[in-house]
A and B are shown apart, each in its own frame.
Chain A
Amino acid sequence: MIEIETNILAKNDGYAQENRHRLEAASILALNLVSSPGSGKTTLLVETIRKLEGRIPVAVIEGDQQTTNDADRIRATGVRALQINTGKGCHLDAHMVGHAIDHLAPDEQSVLFIENVGNLVCPAAFDLGEAAKVAILSVTEGEDKPLKYPDMFAAAKLMILNKTDLLPHLDFDIEACEANARRVNPDIAVIRLSARTGEGMDAWIDWIRAQQVVGLERLISDAEARLADLRAARSHV
């Protein structure tokens, strides 16, 4: 009999920690975009890149089971993108993402978007080393999605309610949807957005900048602590 007491996903978690250290040290903000297929992840990324107009360097990792269409759509904007075909795999894992980071070599202080495979179940369990998960839900889906996939909405830092341009044609109860998301995750931020009309895009860009600031503040305070240690060491010489 041997006691093991290890996480089944320990291997993935190890790779995820490696990714996180690399990304944080280079102050690269990695955002893991998760949703059901067709919620608008790729469209949102294309519009986000347009909106940023090169002011913040961007790189994109595209997860897909088979095709390379999404990476092609991103490259058409002039941004570096790498497609990972997961084949039968229904999620990205941290090992794949680590290799993708090697290939893409994102710039320091850039934003790395990771479009996960369209699936609201397993990407919740597989840490990629991202700074935050962003769940995208379109208003053509049910307002009960956060209750049906609570693990994912509990794991996400932000929920984007996309395709708000379609609201007038639907009986989607947006308030109820937000309330459902907050029931499973009291801290979740919510942005209502239409990748088509651009509504809500400014709030989304502001949210991204705020996350960059959080990352930089952490690096700065680490660097200041290190500096204080070095000064203390010098004064004792």
Chain B
Amino acid sequence: MHEMSICESLVQTIEAHARSDDFTKVLRLRLEIGCFGGVEIEALRFGFDVVTRGTCAEGAELDILSLPGKAWCFGCDTGFDTDSRVSDCPVCGSGRIRVTGGDELRIKDMEVI
């Protein structure tokens, strides 16, 4: 499952920070996940619980901030939020749009001790 390897990358990044920023336990972790990040939030939570066992992030509270998809319309030169890669422009109805954002898979911040 895809979310499992995302969680493994997440734990590697956290552990690298634990060494460089000198902490031993993560209490709370905030992630920013874009709507085109290709990640199921529930599967990510499940993977997080499994993968963090025995690491400094075990038991950490996981906050997931969902970021909207962003798109640009070529019909009327406007930007808008969307949750689909194939939506029509809400202003002029044109289907000639380009997705410009929403694929974020980011660690925002963490509370550590």
Contacts and interface: CB of A to CB of B under 8 A. Distances in A.
B2 A91 contact: yes
A8 B13 contact: yes
A125 B105 contact: yes
Given A121-B38, A124-B38, A9 B9 contact: yes
Nearest to A93: B5
B79 interface: no
Contacts of B107: 4-8
Contacts, number: 84
B59 interface: no
Contacts of B5: 89-91, 93, 122
Interface in A74-109: 89-91, 93
Interface residues of B, number: 32
Query: Closest 6 CB pairs between A and B?
Result: A122-B2, A150-B85, A8-B105, A4-B107, A183-B86, A184-B85
Interface in B11-40: 12-13, 16-17, 21, 23, 31, 36-38
A124 B5 CA distance: 13
Interface string B25-65: 00000010000111000000000000000000000000000
Interface of B: 1-2, 5-6, 9-10, 12-13, 16-17, 21, 23, 31, 36-38, 85-86, 95-96, 98-99, 103-112
A222 B10 CA distance: 36
Contact of A6 (B13, B23, B37, B86): B13
B70 to A, nearest CB: 13
Nearest to B38: A151
Contact of B103 (A89, A151, A183): A151
Given A2-B17, A91-B2, A125-B38, A11 B9 contact: yes
Given A11-B12, A11-B13, A4 B108 contact: yes
Contacts of A186: 96, 98
B20 to A, nearest CB: 10
Interface string A1-44: 11111111111100000000000000000000000000000000
A154 B106 contact: no
Interface residues of A, number: 28
B38 A4 contact: no
A1 B110 contact: yes
B2 A12 contact: no
A147 B9 contact: no
A89 to B, nearest CB: 6
Interface in A181-226: 183-184, 186
A90 B109 contact: no
A150 B86 contact: yes
Contact of B21 (A2, A90, A93, A122): A2
